[in-house]
Amino acid sequence: MKRVAFLLGLWGLFSLCHAQLSDAEEGGDEEVVDLFTTPRSKLAASTSDFGYNLFRQLAARDPKASVLLSPMSISAAFTQLSMGASERAEKQLYRVLRYHSLQDTKIHDTLRGLLASLRASTKGFSSVERLLLARRLRSKPEYLNTVEKQYGERPQILLGGPRDLKTVNDWFRQQTRGKVDRVLATPLPRNSAIVPVGAAYFKGKWITRFGKMGKMEDFQLDGAAPARVAVMQQENYPVKIGMDSDLGCTIAQVPMEDGVSMYFFLPDEVTQNLTLIEEALTSEFVQDLANTLHPVHVQLTLPVLKLVYSTDLLALLSGLGLSEWLEDTDLIKISTQAIKLSTVRHKAVVETAPEGSQYASAPSSSAQQSLALSYRVDRPFLFLVRDEPSGALLFIGKVLNPRDLASA
């Protein structure tokens, strides 16, 4: 586990009181502890690490593009797919999904419980996953029944032709209550046999509301004129914060209702190259952040976001270690026919708004207030949406320009 060793530099920079510094220094060398102790938190860590690996592949595909991903949604879709695999193929999928070391004999029950907790309405997160199966496969009823019993939705049998596009999109729109539209922007390839589809939406509620919203400000771009974006602002806003000189960024954790947080990784310089930050992300590193970042009050400025991203993830699977599996999927519990994937569809939507359940407290005359600390997300950044009780990574995104993800 990477040690987070940037707090002392941060507090030296901010000149906080001696008591705070003593607390940060107390304890000396870190003990190596198991950060994930329950089946649910261990599974959440695995899906998160799968998400970080997939995100790195997605970001590397086009380093100059903004991207957005919901690891929980994609993990759930491929876990349903694994239920149709041979023992050999299941092991291959489990290794990529990071399930191979869990030793959880009831992994599907654990995932079902985790998804149910994450989809609580108060968290603002919803995800829907479904496998689309070609009618010509003559899918085995035992498999269809098992998936439906375990996850509540039966894989959809495609009829073939343009009608499938409307049927699939209508179903996902209904299941997400209109929040995710046009999951399939284009018709499926003619040779489609099995198509994993995942859709996810997030609009959480801050614990502390923002008093100002709608003002247009400059968002700095790397090598281009600034973009004008709407922002929300609030003085004396409670966050947890820290600096990492190795990664060249300042990290802020902003709390939301029902145990959800947004983490913002803001580079010290205006740059679209966020590779150092991307490569550092693991479930243990982020859990360490949650335990180590220090609470302060800042003047907080965030862009008002409505991010929409849709993509085909199939080409990324080889880079995760599934090249051999893609050649021989061995999904013998689904059909006796040989099956190849032709596409993996994913659509993600994230919104932010100023609403919150509490008002920010009035500024005090304490030392930390007199410093008038400011945290402004006004240049390319990386963010996470994370469920703190479980450690599950709900969303991860790289925003080089908020307008890039304004619609899809």
**pLDDT tens-place string over residues 286-325:** 999 999 999 999 999 999 999 999 999 999 999 999 999 9
Q: Which amino acid is at 347?
A: K
Helix (H) or strand (E) holding 23: helix 18-25
- Using alpha carbons, select from 157, 130, 152, 127 the residue that is nearest to residue 141: 157
Give the global pTM: 0.90
- At residue 19, the pLDDT reads 30
Token pair for residue 354? 């100023």
Q: Are 204 and 125 within 8 A, CB to CB? A: yes
- At residue 8, the pLDDT reads 36
User: Between β-strands 249-255 and 224-244, what pairing exists: parallel, antiparallel or unpaired?
Assistant: antiparallel
In the chain, CATH 2.30.39.10 covers 7-22+206-304+354-390
Q: Give whole-number Cα distances, 125 to 181, 297, 321, in Å.
A: 16, 27, 29
DSSP for residue 366: S
The superfamily (CATH) of domain 62-203+307-351 is: Antithrombin, subunit I, domain 2 (3.30.497.10)
Instruction: Please tell me the total number of residues recorded for the chain in this structure.
Output: 408
Each residue's pLDDT, cut to its tens digit, for the chain (408 residues) gives: 444 444 434 443 443 333 332 333 344 444 444 678 899 999 999 999 999 999 999 999 999 999 999 999 999 999 999 999 999 999 999 999 999 999 889 999 999 999 999 999 999 999 999 999 999 999 999 999 999 999 999 999 998 878 899 999 999 999 999 999 999 998 898 888 999 999 999 998 999 999 999 899 999 999 999 999 999 999 999 999 999 999 999 999 999 999 999 999 999 999 999 999 999 999 999 999 999 999 999 999 999 999 999 999 999 999 999 999 999 999 999 999 999 999 999 999 999 988 888 888 877 655 444 456 899 999 999 999 999 999 999 999 999 999 988 765
- At residue 371, the pLDDT reads 57
Q: What is the spatial distance between Cα 131 and Cα 194, in angstroms, rounded to a whole number?
A: 7
- At residue 189, the pLDDT reads 86
In the chain, CATH 3.30.497.10 covers 62-203+307-351
Neighbours of 404 (CB within 10 A): 18
Token pair for residue 74? 């994609």
7-22+206-304+354-390: in CATH 3.40.47.10 = no
Token pair for residue 366? 């304490």
- At residue 2, the pLDDT reads 42
Q: What is the spatial distance between Cα 114 and Cα 263, in angstroms, rounded to a whole number?
A: 21
- Using alpha carbons, select from 11, 183, 38 the residue that is nearest to residue 117: 38
Q: Are 24 and 11 within 8 A, CB to CB? A: yes
Q: What is the spatial distance between Cα 272 and Cα 270, in angstroms, rounded to a whole number?
A: 7
Token pair for residue 161? 């032709």
Q: Which residues pair with 126 in a beta bridge?
A: 201
Q: Which residues pair with 351 in a beta bridge?
A: 306
Q: Give whole-number Cα distances, 25 to 7, 8, 28, 242, 288, in Å.
A: 9, 8, 6, 14, 16
- Using alpha carbons, select from 251, 246, 249 the residue that is nearest to residue 262: 251
